[in-house]
Structure 1
Amino acid sequence: MANYHGFVEYEKEFILDKDVTNDICLRLWGSYSSIQLFINGHLIHQSQNWNKDNPHTIGESPFTASIPLQFLKTDSINTIAVKSGTYSGWGGAVLFELGYVNKINRRFKQHIIKDVGVSSISLFIFIYFLFQYLLRKKEKYSLYIALSGLSVSLFIMGFFCHWYSLFNFAFSYWLLTFIGGINMYLLPIHFIHSFFNIKKGMIAKVFTVFYCTLSIFVFLEFSLTNQVFYFVKYIYIFFNLSYILVVPYLFFIGIKAIRQKLEFSKIMFIGILILGISFLLSMLSFASILRFDPPIGEGFFAMIVVFSFVLAKRFAQTHQNLETAHGDLISAANEIRELNDSLEVKVASRTRELSEKNELITESLEYAAQIQQSVLPAREEMVTLFEDYFTLWKPKGIVGGDIYWRHQHEDGFLFAVIDCTGHGVPGALLTMSVTSAMDYIVEQMNIFDPADVLFHLNNIMKGKLNQGSTDPFADDGLEIALVSCTNGMSRLHFAGSKLRLFALEKGEINEYKGSRYSIGFKRSRKDQKFEQHTIHFTEETRFFLTTDGFIEQSGGPKGFGLGWERFRKLLLESRGSMSETGSFLEKSFDDYRNEREQRDDVLVIGFTLDVD
C-alpha cells in the first residue's frame, strides 16, 4: 500500500509573564515526518526536507528552536503551532516542551543520561546473560533474561526518540521500538516460568502466540510497505489492552511461586510489584491525571534488574555448591587414596601369605601326585601284560579321580580303568581307597572273575563310604571297566559299571557296555550282579578302555560334547602302533577342546594281547 498522506497541526496556547526578559525556546523530542514550527503565525523552524506536495518525508531529529521575544505577546495569549505530515496514521511531532533555554537543555541532558544509562545497563544484562546461556545451554531462563534486557533497551531508546538522534530513519523508531516493546511484555512470562520450572498453561501459550504474531506482523508490514499503517489502525488498540492482562498474570505466577515456597520467589515478586506500580503510574500519565512521562519502560527495567540479581545470586550459589562439592570430592579422594594405600599394604601382605600357603598346597599336591603315580602300574609291569599299549592320562588338576589298576597272578592278570566321583584331591583320595579294596579282593579273597570282583567291590565300598548313614551329602562311588585274561587263552573277560570296552579288528569295531549300575553309591544294591562278557581275540585285535572325561569334553564350533560317536570314529581312523594311536587321540582331543577348559579327568588305555 502507498504511504498514508496528509497534514496534522498541533497548537499550544500560553500567556507570557511580564517579567520575562530572556529568550525562551521550544524543545521538540522528535517527529515522524518533516515539520514546520510557527509562533503567533511566524515561521521559526522548517525541516530541510520539507515538501508541501509530499509531506511524508524522513522525520526530524530532536532539536531546540529559540523563540525571539519580539514574536511574543506579553498582554495576550500566544499560540505555538506545529505543522507536520502524518505517517501511518500517526501525527508528526511528539513530546514538545516550552521554557527557558537553560532549563530545557538541562532537562534534555537529564533525559539523555537517564535513558542512555538505562539502555546501556539493559544491553550489559543482554550480553552477560547471553554469554551465560551459551555456557549453560540447558538453562533457558538465561536466554529469556538476556532477550528481555535487549527488548527494554530497544524500547527505552525508541520511545523517547533517541533512535532518531542516531539514525534519522523510520526503521529506527517503528521497527526497533515496536518489536522491542512487544517482546518486552512476552519474555518475562517465559523467564518466570522457566526459572521456577512452572509448566506453561493455556494463558501463557495464548500470550506467546499473540505477541509473536504481532512481532511478525510489524516486521512484514514494515518490510513490504516501509510503514505500519494497518498495525496502528487496527491492531495497536489490542496491543495496548494486552498490557492490562500481562501484569496481573505475572502477579499470579509470582504468588503461586511464593505459596509453593520456591527459592527466590519473594525477591522475584518484588520485581513484579515494581512493574505493577510503574504500570499504574503510566496509566495515570496516559490519562493526564499525573503530569510526568509514563515510566512503563523504567518499570520493566527495574524488574529485569531484580530478576538479574536473583539469577546472579543463583549462579553464585551454584558455584559455591560446586566448590563445596569439589572440596568434598577432594577430601573423599584423599580418604580413598589413604584407604587404597592401606588396602594395598594389606593386600600385599595377604597376597604374600596366600602365595606362601598356595606354594605349600602346591608342593603338597605335587607330592600327592607322586604318590598317586607310584600307585599306577609302572611301564615294566605294563609290558608284562600287553603286547603293545598306550596310556592317555590327563588329570584335570595336579591329582585326579581317574586311575588304572592291574593285578598279575599265576594263571593270568586283571586290569581295570577306574573313574571315581569328583576330581582333584577328593577324587584322588577315593582312588586310594578303591585300589586298596581291589587288592584285598584278589589277594585275600582270591577272586579273579571280573563280575565277582565288582560284586564284592560294591559291598566293600558301600561300607567304607558309610553309605548306610542318613547324611544326604555322603554319596560317593565309582565307575569301572575290568578285564581279565588267562595265560595261553585267546579269550578276554570283561565286566563293567557304566564304562565300556571297545574291540577293533579289520576295520570293524565292537562295543561291549558295562552294567548300568554304579558301585558304592547309596542307590547301589548290595545284591547287585554285574554282567560279564567274553571276547575272543587275535593278534590284530586292538582293545580300548576309557572313562567319560574324554567323551564329555566340550568343544568344536558349537561347544558340544565330543560324544561316543566321534570317539568310535577316531578309533576307526587310528593307524600305526598303539603309541602312535595314543598320540593321535591326544592331539584329536586337544584340537576339539581348543581353548576351552578341560572339564574332567581324562583316561584312555589302548592295548593288544599276545595270542601265545
Structure 2
Amino acid sequence: QENIRLEGIIQERTAEIRKQKEELTDSIEYASRIQRALLPHNKLMEDQNIEHFILFRPRDIVSGDFYWMASKNEKLLIVAADCTGHGVPGAFMSMLGMTFLDEIVIKSEITQTDRILESLREHVITSLKQSGKSIQESTKDGMDMAMVCLDKKNRTIQFSGAYNPIFLVRELKPEERSGISQGEEIELPRGSIRSETHILLQIRGDQMPIGISEKHIPFNATTLADEGYNMYMFSDGFQDQFGGPQGKKFMSRNFKKLILDLQDIPLKDQGARLERILLDWMGEISQIDDILVMGLRMNP
C-alpha cells in the first residue's frame, strides 16, 4: 500500500517537473525568436553590394554570439561579437549589446570604430555597475568583438577589436609570386600566413574586452585601403570546438589554413562549406560553444 502511494507521489512530481521543463523551454524558444528578430537582415549588405556569408550556430536555443550592422553616412558598420557565457545569460548580454549599438550609432553621427567601442564599453560598464554586482564579479561580464566600417566611396576598411582580430585575405601580387618562385620569402605581420596563391593578414584587436577590466585605455583603429580583400570576423566557437579522430580542439592555426583553403570558391558559398567541415569535424561530439563566422567582400 505504502509503495503504491510513493509511486503515485513520484509520478506526480515527475509530471510537475516535465511541465516546468516544457514551460521553461517554451519561454527560451520565445526569447530565441525575439533575439533572431533583433539580428540585422542580410538585405542591408545586399543593398550595398557586399558579398557575404554568415555562419551562425547557437549552442543552445539562444546565443551569446551576435552580429550587428548599420548604414550611416554612406558607410556600413558591421560587428561580430562574443558575449560572456552562452545560453540565457549570454543572450541577455547580446541583446544589451545590440540595443546599445543601435543607441550609439543610429542616434549619433559616430562612424569611427574605436569611438564606437569606447562608447559601448561605457554603456556596458554603467549597466553592469547598476546590476548590484561587485567589480570583481563584473569583470567576468562583457563581450569580445570585431568591428569594421566599410567605406565603399573611398574603398577603405577601418577595424577595431576588443580581443577579437579580423582576417583579411587577398591574392598574391605578381611580384610576390615572382619573388616566392625565386626562393624569396614575404615578410608577414605577426599571426599572418600565406598559401601558394593567397595571403591571410591578421589584424589584431586590443587586448581588453567591452566591459570592466584592469586594462582600461582607449581602443585603437586600423584603417587601410581595400585591396580586394575577403574579410572574416568570428567568435572563438569554431576554433575551440572539439572533434576529429583524437577529439582535440580545431585550433586557430587550422582555422587560418581552412580560411585560405576556401579561396577556391566564391565568398558567398564559403559559409556552407565551413558548416559541412565543422559538422564532419564534430562527428558525435556535442557543440561546446556558440559559433559565429562572417565573410565579407566589397564588390565594385
**Scaled by the length of structure 2, what TM-score is found?**
0.84
Q: Is the 8 A contact 2:237 2:289 kept in 1?
A: yes
In the TM superposition, residue 416 of structure 1 has moved relative to its aligned partner by 0.3
Distance 1:489 1:363, change over 3 A: same
In the TM superposition, residue 386 of structure 1 has moved relative to its aligned partner by 4.5
Counterpart in 2 of 1:519?
210
Mapped pair 1:420 → 2:83: yes
Q: Is the 8 A contact 1:386 1:607 kept in 2?
A: no
Mapped pair 1:489 → 2:165: no
SS of the counterpart of 2:63? Answer: coil
Counterpart in 2 of 1:247?
none
- Matching residue's letter, 2:128: L
What per-residue deviation string (whole Å, max 9, x for no partner) do you get for residues 302-326 of structure 1? Answer: xxxxxxxxxxxxxxxxxxxxxxxxx
Aligned partners of 1:381 and 1:445: how far apart in 2?
19
Counterpart in 2 of 1:550?
238
Equivalent of 1:465 in 128, 152, 174: 128
Q: Is the 8 A contact 2:62 2:91 kept in 1?
A: yes
Aligned partners of 1:523 and 1:464: how far apart in 2?
18
Aligned partners of 1:418 and 1:470: how far apart in 2?
24
Counterpart in 1 of 2:189?
none
Aligned partners of 1:561 and 1:386: how far apart in 2?
35
Aligned partners of 2:273 and 2:154: how far apart in 1?
30
SS of the counterpart of 1:465? Answer: helix
Counterpart in 2 of 1:474?
138
What per-residue deviation string (whole Å, max 9, x for no partner) do you get for residues 537-580 of structure 1? Answer: 244x2111110111111122332211111101111111322232
Counterpart in 2 of 1:499?
164
SS of the counterpart of 1:600? Answer: coil
- Matching residue's letter, 1:553: Q
- Matching residue's letter, 2:246: K
Mapped pair 1:572 → 2:260: yes
Counterpart in 1 of 2:176?
none
Aligned partners of 1:402 and 1:422: how far apart in 2?
9
In the TM superposition, residue 417 of structure 1 has moved relative to its aligned partner by 0.4
Where does 1:18-57 land on structure 2 (aligned, <5 Å)?
none
In the TM superposition, residue 598 of structure 1 has moved relative to its aligned partner by 1.0
Counterpart in 1 of 2:272?
583
Equivalent of 2:51 in 366, 382, 388: 388
Whose helix proportion is higher, 1 or 2?
A: 1
C-alpha RMSD of the superposition? 1.9
Q: Is the 8 A contact 2:157 2:223 kept in 1?
A: yes
- Matching residue's letter, 1:543: M
Counterpart in 2 of 1:559?
247
In the TM superposition, residue 524 of structure 1 has moved relative to its aligned partner by 4.7
In the TM superposition, residue 398 of structure 1 has moved relative to its aligned partner by 0.4
Counterpart in 1 of 2:285?
596
SS of the counterpart of 2:211? Answer: coil
Distance 1:590 1:558, change over 3 A: same
Counterpart in 2 of 1:361?
24
In the TM superposition, residue 484 of structure 1 has moved relative to its aligned partner by 0.1
Where does 1:103-118 land on structure 2 (aligned, <5 Å)?
none
Aligned partners of 2:8 and 2:48: how far apart in 1?
59
What per-residue deviation string (whole Å, max 9, x for no partner) do you get for residues 205-262 of structure 1? Answer: xxxxxxxxxxxxxxxxxxxxxxxxxxxxxxxxxxxxxxxxxxxxxxxxxxxxxxxxxx
Counterpart in 2 of 1:374?
37
Distance 1:558 1:352, change over 3 A: same
Gaps of 5+ in 2: 172-197
Aligned partners of 2:145 and 2:48: how far apart in 1?
19
What per-residue deviation string (whole Å, max 9, x for no partner) do you get for residues 98-142 of structure 1? Answer: xxxxxxxxxxxxxxxxxxxxxxxxxxxxxxxxxxxxxxxxxxxxx
What per-residue deviation string (whole Å, max 9, x for no partner) do you get for residues 273-295 of structure 1? Answer: xxxxxxxxxxxxxxxxxxxxxxx
Aligned partners of 2:134 and 2:154: how far apart in 1?
47
Q: Is the 8 A contact 2:120 2:210 kept in 1?
A: yes
Q: Is the 8 A contact 2:45 2:51 kept in 1?
A: no
Distance 1:357 1:408, change over 3 A: same
In the TM superposition, residue 492 of structure 1 has moved relative to its aligned partner by 0.5
- Matching residue's letter, 2:44: E
**Scaled by the length of structure 1, what TM-score is found?**
0.43
Aligned partners of 2:75 and 2:294: how far apart in 1?
19
In the TM superposition, residue 471 of structure 1 has moved relative to its aligned partner by 5.9
Aligned partners of 2:295 and 2:253: how far apart in 1?
18
Structure 1 outlier segments of 4+, above 4 Å = none
Aligned partners of 1:608 and 1:427: how far apart in 2?
29
Counterpart in 2 of 1:606?
295
Equivalent of 2:201 in 503, 510, 521: 510
Counterpart in 2 of 1:350?
13
Counterpart in 2 of 1:443?
106
Distance 1:592 1:343, change over 3 A: farther
Equivalent of 1:533 in 222, 242, 259: 222
Distance 1:488 1:399, change over 3 A: same
Aligned partners of 1:512 and 1:391: how far apart in 2?
20
Greater RCO (CA < 8 Å, at least 6 residues apart): 2
In the TM superposition, residue 393 of structure 1 has moved relative to its aligned partner by 0.4
Q: Is the 8 A contact 2:44 2:71 kept in 1?
A: no
| Higher CA-based Rg | 1
Aligned partners of 2:202 and 2:136: how far apart in 1?
35
In the TM superposition, residue 522 of structure 1 has moved relative to its aligned partner by 4.2
In the TM superposition, residue 446 of structure 1 has moved relative to its aligned partner by 2.0
In the TM superposition, residue 535 of structure 1 has moved relative to its aligned partner by 2.9
Distance 1:439 1:519, change over 3 A: same
Q: Is the 8 A contact 1:544 1:607 kept in 2?
A: yes
- Matching residue's letter, 2:82: D
Whose strand proportion is higher, 1 or 2?
A: 2
Q: Is the 8 A contact 1:552 1:563 kept in 2?
A: yes
Distance 1:386 1:551, change over 3 A: farther
Q: Is the 8 A contact 1:400 1:425 kept in 2?
A: yes
